[in-house]
């Protein structure tokens, strides 16, 4: 009797598949999210983003002296080379900013290629430092024709540099705006084998260069099912003038089985631990000059209905949408700021993949036609 081959187990979307070991983060275990053993709430409440970036790269939180030196390195790496500035200016003003971010990573890899001297750690710092300056250089160049000075105060954190470049008004950035950005960068920094991080690992597994791993991750994050959720969420929230209007629309969407962006998570079934943290900052921003208490109240009504009707919790993207909007960020910049943050996590994954590499090459379950007899071109019948 012919022995039967074992049936292949198919996991579309790789749901439930444990692809490898990792020391970087835990998602859905313990209190919900840890970076290298540290709880996300502790990091968000007690750190600046540079501390978390250091942690993800070097596996330990920095000492005061280490952090000071690390911040000096970041400040020194904000400059935009003339050739890169020319490329940035050539990116059309109606392009999605994610196209700019992808281009920056790719082009920088041609003028500052990875080498023994310019290693993966230096590139990680360089990209983390330069992404936001490139984004806002492009923004102001096409908005007003200005070539802004991106190398701001040496003491500026990445978060403060972002707010300073966004406003570009010569004033000292408001503390709450900077703190909100700081916290959001920490919350978005790392999230296990998400689509973009795993794609970075796939690229790294081929022994490709560091920039290629980051570029492929950016391309993955560009997709609306991964990085564009907060953009979609604010566009959804903004369309309503009242809480009642939002409620009516939600019930209409329920009947049509439409997706509400910013809710639910494949891993967090009892709520995203990052959501409450960013929600509180969105609430605080309503009291600023550019605050939008109306948008926040509409967001809360949507959250309450989604919980009562669908038992679905908001994820990080939902309240980061109203937080970013109140910071004054253009909606199309929400995902590029995600890049500024998540580069830290991508870098950690590329470094880890390289440390004990094995080429990632899954198999498929073939469902195409049975073997066919081949015919040369002249013998094939016309349809």
Annotated catalytic residues are 265, 317
Instruction: Give CA 218 to chain center in angstroms.
Output: 8
Residue 375 is given by DSSP the state -
Q: Which of 378, 338, 270 is nearest to 96 (CA)?
A: 338
Largest CA distance in the chain: 82
Any residues with CB less than 8 A from the CB of 313 and at least 6 apart, and which? 263, 264, 265, 268, 270, 271, 272, 275, 306, 307
Please tell me the distance from the alpha carbon of residue 305 to that of residue 308, in angstroms, as a whole number: 5
Please tell me the distance from the alpha carbon of residue 84 to that of residue 103, in angstroms, as a whole number: 10
Please tell me the distance from the alpha carbon of residue 222 to that of residue 287, in angstroms, as a whole number: 32
Classified as helix, coil or strand, 35 is strand
Percent helix, strand and coil across the chain, each to the nearest 5: 60, 5, 40
For residue 68, how many other CB atoms are within 10 A of its CB? 11
Q: Where are the beta strands (DSSP E) in 28-71?
A: 33-35, 38-39
Q: Which of 220, 195, 229, 199 is nearest to 334 (CA)?
A: 229
Residues in the chain: 383
For residue 292, how many other CB atoms are within 10 A of its CB? 18
Which residues are registered as beta bridge partners of 34?
26, 39
Instruction: Give CA 59 to chain center in angstroms.
Output: 20
Which residues are registered as beta bridge partners of 27?
33
């Amino acid at each position: 009797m012919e022995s039967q081959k074992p049936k292949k187990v198919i996991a579309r979307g790789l749901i439930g598949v444990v692809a490898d070991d990792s020391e970087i983060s835990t998602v859905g275990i313990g209190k919900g999210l840890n970076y290298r053993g540290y709880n996300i709430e502790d990091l968000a409440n007690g750190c600046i983003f540079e501390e978390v970036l250091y942690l993800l790269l070097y596996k330990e939180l920095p000492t005061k002296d280490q952090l000071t030196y690390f911040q000096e390195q970041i400040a020194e790496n904000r400059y935009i080379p003339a050739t890169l500035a020319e490329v940035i200016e050539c990116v059309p003003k109606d392009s999605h900013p994610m196209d700019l971010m992808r281009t920056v990573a790719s082009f920088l890899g041609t003028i500052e290629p990875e080498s023994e001297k310019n290693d993966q750690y230096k590139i990680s710092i360089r990209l983390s430092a330069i992404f936001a300056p490139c984004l806002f250089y492009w923004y102001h160049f096409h908005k007003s024709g200005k070539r802004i000075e991106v190398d701001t105060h040496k003491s500026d954190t990445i978060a403060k540099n972002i707010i300073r470049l966004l406003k570009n008004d010569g004033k000292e950035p408001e503390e709450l705006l900077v703190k909100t950005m700081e916290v959001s960068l920490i919350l978005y920094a790392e999230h296990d084998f998400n689509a973009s991080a795993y794609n970075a690992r796939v690229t790294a597994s081929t022994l490709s260069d560091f920039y290629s791993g980051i570029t492929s991750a950016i391309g993955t994050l560009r997709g609306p099912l991964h990085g564009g959720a907060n953009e979609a969420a604010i566009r959804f929230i903004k369309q309503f003038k009242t809480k009642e209007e939002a409620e009516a629309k939600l019930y209409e969407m329920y009947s049509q089985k439409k997706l509400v962006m910013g809710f639910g998570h494949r891993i967090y079934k009892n709520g995203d631990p990052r959501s409450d943290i960013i929600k509180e900052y969105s609430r605080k921003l309503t009291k600023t000059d550019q605050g939008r208490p109306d948008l926040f109240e509409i967001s809360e009504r949507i959250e309450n209905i989604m919980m009562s009707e669908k038992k679905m919790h908001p994820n990080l993207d939902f309240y980061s949408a109203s937080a970013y909007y109140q910071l004054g960020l253009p909606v199309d910049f929400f995902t590029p700021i995600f890049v500024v943050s998540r580069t830290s996590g991508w870098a950690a994954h590329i470094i880890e993949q390289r440390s004990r590499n094995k080429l990632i090459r899954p198999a498929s379950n073939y469902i195409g036609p049975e073997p066919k007899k081949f015919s040369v071109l002249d013998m094939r019948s016309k349809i």
